């Protein structure tokens, strides 16, 4: 293993150059980290605000549902619609319209599930 002076100089230049490039990359990464932390904080604040708005909206919806004249049949709520009832019932807990799937009615808010049934005959 001989020490060729040109090889040695080339090695020094390469290593010194790499250190400069690494510093540049580190500076870039630091800038990106600061930017992402700021973005994360902004999103967390936005999320908190949206959660508060959702709570308010759910409370408003529950209040609105309470003011309706629901009829209970088969453990779920049915909303009068003229002479008949709406075909989709409301969750007895959340008072929101339930989703019809297979032979079940499902509440998307509280996961209340019940067998599908028909609305009351007539109001």
* Residue with smaller CB distance to Zn ion, 7 or 99: 99
The strand pairing partners of 97, in sequence order, are 90
Distance CA 63, CA 51 (A): 18
Least spacing, CB of residue 41 vs Zn ion, in Å: 33
Interface ranges with Zn ion (CB under 5 A):
91, 93-94, 107, 109-110, 112
Question: The tokens of 75 are what?
Answer: 């453990």
Given the complex with Zn ion, which of 15 and 111 has the nearer CB atom? Answer: 111
In the complex, the smallest distance separating the C-beta of residue 68 from Zn ion, rounded to whole angstroms, is: 15
**At closest approach, how far in Å is the CB of 113 from Zn ion?**
10
Judged by CB, which is closer to Zn ion: 97, or 123? 97
Instruction: Using the minimum distance from each CB to Zn ion, give the nearer residue, 65 or 123.
Output: 65
DSSP state of 94: T
**Interacting residues of 119 by C-beta distance below 8 A, sequence separation 6+:** 73, 78, 84, 85, 86, 87, 89
Instruction: Output the smallest distance, CB 30 to Zn ion, in A.
Output: 48
């Amino acid at each position: 293993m001989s020490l060729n002076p040109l090889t040695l100089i080339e090695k020094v230049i390469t290593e010194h150059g790499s250190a400069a490039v690494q510093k540049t990359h580190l500076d870039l990464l630091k800038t990106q980290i600061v930017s992402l932390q700021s973005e994360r904080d902004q999103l967390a604040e936005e999320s908190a605000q949206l959660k508060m708005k959702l709570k308010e909206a759910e409370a408003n919806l529950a209040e609105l549902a309470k003011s309706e004249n629901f009829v209970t049949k088969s453990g779920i709520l049915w909303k009068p619609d003229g002479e008949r009832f709406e075909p989709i019932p409301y969750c007895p807990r959340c008072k929101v319209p339930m989703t019809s799937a297979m032979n079940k009615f499902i509440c998307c808010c509280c996961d209340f599930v019940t067998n599908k049934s028909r609305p009351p005959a007539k109001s």
